[in-house]
A and B are shown apart, each in its own frame.
Chain A
Amino acid sequence: MRTKKGLVSLLLTIMMLGSILGGCGSAADSNANSQGAGDSTKAKAEKIVFAMPSFNRIPSDIGRVTDAINAITVPKIGVEVDFKIFGPADYAQKVNLALQSGEQMDVFTTLGQFTSYVSKSQLYPLEDLLEEHGKELLAILEQDFGPDMLKSTTLNGHIYGIPVNKGVSIPTNFVYNADMLKEVGFSADDINSVEDLPQIFEAVKQKYPEVIPFGPVNVNPSDPGLILLLKGMYEADFLSDTTGIGAVIGDDSQVLNFYETEEFKSGVTMMREWFNKGYLEKDAATTSIAFSDMISSGRGFSYMASYSGLEAAKALSAQTGKNLEMKRIAPYYFETGAVNMVSWMVSSTTKAPEGAVKFLNLLYTDEELINTVLYGIEGEDYVKVGEHHVKYPDGKDASTVAYTAMLSTGIVGSESLQYQLEGVNWSDVELKLQENKETKKSPFFGFIFDPSEVKTQMSAVTNVVNQYLPGLVCGALDPETTIPKFVQALNDAGAEAIIKSKQEQLDQWIAAQNSQ
Chain B
Amino acid sequence: MTTTTTKSKGPKKTLPLLLLAVPGLLYFIVNSYIPMIGIFIAFKDINYAKGIFRSDWIGFDNFKFLFQTSDAWVMTRNTLLYNTAFIVLGTIVSIIIAILMSELLSKAFAKVFHTSLVLPNLISMVVLSYLVFAFLNADSGFINNSILAPLGLPEINWYSEPKYWPYLLVFIQLWKTAGYGSIVYIAFIAGIDKSIYEAAKIDGAGKLKQIWTITLPLLKPTIVILTLMSIGRIFNSDFGLFYQVPLNSGALYSTTQTIDTYVYRALMQVNDIGMSAAAGLYQSLVGFILVMLANAIVKKVNADNALF
Q: Are A6 and B308 in contact (CB under 8 A)?
A: yes
B135 beta carbon closer than 8 Å to chain A: no
CB atoms of B248 and A221 under 8 A apart: yes
Cα A136 to Cα B71 in complex, Å, equals: 52
Contact A492 B69 (CB under 8 A): yes
Q: Mark A155-174, 1 if CB is under 8 A from B, else 0.
A: 00000000000000000000
Q: Which residue of B lies closest to A493 (CB)?
A: B69
Asked if A122 CB lies within 8 Å of chain B CBs, one says yes
Residues of B within 8 Å of A494, CB to CB, are 68
Complex Cα distance, B35 from A121, in Å, reads 24
**Docked-complex contact A455 and B304, CB < 8 angstroms:** no
A-chain residues with CB within 8 Å of residue B280 when the two chains form the complex: 21, 23-24
Whose C-beta in chain B lies nearest to the C-beta of A490?
B69
Q: When chains A and B are docked, how far (Å) is the Cα of A405 from the Cα of B308?
A: 58
Supposing A20-B236, A116-B271, A489-B70 touch, asked if A283 and B266 sit within 8 A by C-beta, the answer is no
Q: Is the CB of B271 within 8 A of A282?
A: no
Report B-chain residues with C-beta under 8 Å of the C-beta of A489.
69-71
> Is B251 a contact of A471 with CB atoms below 8 Å?
yes
* A residues 1-58 in Cβ contact with B at 8 Å: 1-4, 6, 9-10, 12-27
Chain A residues in 8 Å Cβ range of B308: 6, 9-10, 13
How far apart sit A185 and B138, CA to CA, in the bound complex (Å)?
Answer: 31
A8: min CB distance to chain B, Å: 10
B262 interface residue, CB < 8 Å from A? Answer: yes
State the CA gap A21–B32 with chains docked (Å): 7
Within 8 A of A (CB), among B225-265: 225, 229, 232-233, 236, 247-251, 253, 262, 265
Whether A470 is near chain B, meaning CB under 8 Å from some CB there, is yes
- Tell yes or no: B157 within 8 A of A by CB: yes
Indicate whether B195 reaches chain A with its CB closer than 8 angstroms: no
| Contact status A493-B68, CB under 8 Å | yes
Please determine whether A288 and B68 come into contact, CB atoms closer than 8 angstroms.
Answer: no
Check if A221 sits within 8 Å of B270, measured CB to CB: no
In the complex, what residues of B have CB within 8 A of residue A99's CB? 48
Once bound together, how far apart are the Cα atoms of A16 and B65, in whole Å?
A: 27
- Scan residues 23-82 of chain B and give those whose CB is less than 8 A from a CB of chain A: 28, 31-39, 41, 46-50, 52, 61, 64-65, 68-71
A462 touches B251 (CB 8 A): no
| Chain B contact residues: helix, strand, loop or mixed | helix
Task: Assess whether B36 is in contact with A24, with CB atoms less than 8 Å apart.
Answer: yes
Give the residue name and chain of the B residue nearest to A461 (CB): B69
Residues from chain B with a CB closer than 8 A to the CB of A320 are: none
Q: Which residues of B contact A20 (CB under 8 A)?
A: 232-233, 236, 283-284, 287-288
Residue of B nearest to A497 (CB): B68
| Contact between B32 and A492, CB atoms less than 8 A apart | no
Please state if B266 and A462 are interface contacts (CB–CB under 8 Å): yes
CA distance A84 to B48 in the complex (A): 22
- Residue A476 interfacial (CB < 8 Å): yes
B250 touches A9 (CB 8 A): no
Task: Give Cα A33–Cα B288 distance, bound, in whole angstroms.
Answer: 41
Q: How far is the CA of A451 from the CA of B271 in the complex (A)?
A: 12
Q: How far is the CA of A4 from the CA of B1 in the complex (A)?
A: 8
Contact B139 A282 (CB under 8 A): yes
Known contacts A12-B229, A21-B35, A121-B50: A283-B159 contact under CB 8 Å: yes
- Shortest Cβ distance from A241 into B: residue: B269
State in angstroms the CA–CA spacing of A113 and B280 once bound together.
24
If A26-B37, A471-B160 touch, does A463 touch B265 (CB 8 Å cutoff)? yes
- Complex CA gap A358/B83 in Å reads 55
User: Which residues of the other chain, B, contact A285 by a CB distance below 8 angstroms?
Assistant: 160, 249-251
- Contacting pair A468 B250 (CB below 8 A): yes
Q: In whole angstroms, how far apart are the Cα atoms of A21 and B48 in the complex?
A: 24
The answer, among A100, A456, A459, A468, for a CB contact under 8 Å with B61, is A456
Which residues on the B side are within 8 Å of A23 (C-beta)?
Answer: 280, 284
Query: What are the residues of chain B within 8 A of A462 when measuring CB–CB?
Result: 265-266, 268-270
Q: Are B284 and A288 in contact (CB under 8 A)?
A: no
With an 8 A cutoff between CB atoms, is A460 at the interface? yes
Chain B positions within 8 Å of A152 at CB level: none
Q: Chain A residue with minimal CB distance to B248?
A: A220
Bound together, the chains give a CA A476 to CA B251 distance in angstroms of 10
The answer, yes or no, to whether A390 is at the interface (CB within 8 Å) is: no
**C-alpha gap A169/B248 in the complex (Å):** 31
A122–B275 alpha-carbon span in the complex (Å): 17
Shortest beta-carbon distance, B126 to chain A, in Å?
11
- CB neighbours (8 Å) of B37 from chain A are 26
Query: Nearest chain B CB to A155's CB is how many angstroms away?
Result: 14
Is B119 close to A, CB under 8 A?
no
Q: Determine if B3 and A3 form an interchain contact, defined as CB atoms under 8 angstroms apart.
A: yes
Q: Which residues from 244 to 285 on chain A have a C-beta closer than 8 Å to any C-beta of chain B?
A: 281-283, 285
A187 / chain B contacts, CB cutoff of 8 Å: none
Q: Give CA–CA (A458, B268) in the complex, Å.
A: 11
Residues of A within 8 A of B147 (CB): none
Residue among B50, B247, B262 with most chain A CB within 10 A: B247
A122's contact among B31, B48, B65, B304, by CB below 8 Å, is which? B48
Tell me whether A317 is interfacial, beta carbon within 8 Å: no
B277: chain A residues within 8 A (beta carbon)? 24-25
Say yes or no: is A467 at the interface (Cβ < 8 Å to chain B): yes
Having A12-B225, A23-B280, A460-B69, one finds 4 other A-B pairs with CB under 8 Å, namely A120-B46, A455-B65, A468-B250, A489-B71
Interchain Cβ contacts under 8 Å between A and B, 26 examples: A1-B1, A3-B3, A6-B308, A12-B225, A16-B229, A16-B233, A20-B233, A21-B35, A24-B36, A116-B269, A242-B269, A282-B157, A283-B160, A286-B250, A286-B251, A288-B133, A455-B65, A455-B275, A459-B266, A459-B275, A462-B269, A463-B266, A464-B71, A471-B160, A489-B69, A493-B69
State the 3 A-B residue pairs at the shortest beta-carbon distance, nearest first: A18-B32, A121-B49, A459-B266
Question: Which residues of A does B touch, CB under 8 Å?
Answer: 1-4, 6, 9-10, 12-27, 96, 99-100, 113, 116, 120-122, 220-221, 242-243, 281-283, 285-286, 288, 348-349, 451, 455-460, 462-464, 466-471, 476-477, 489, 492-494
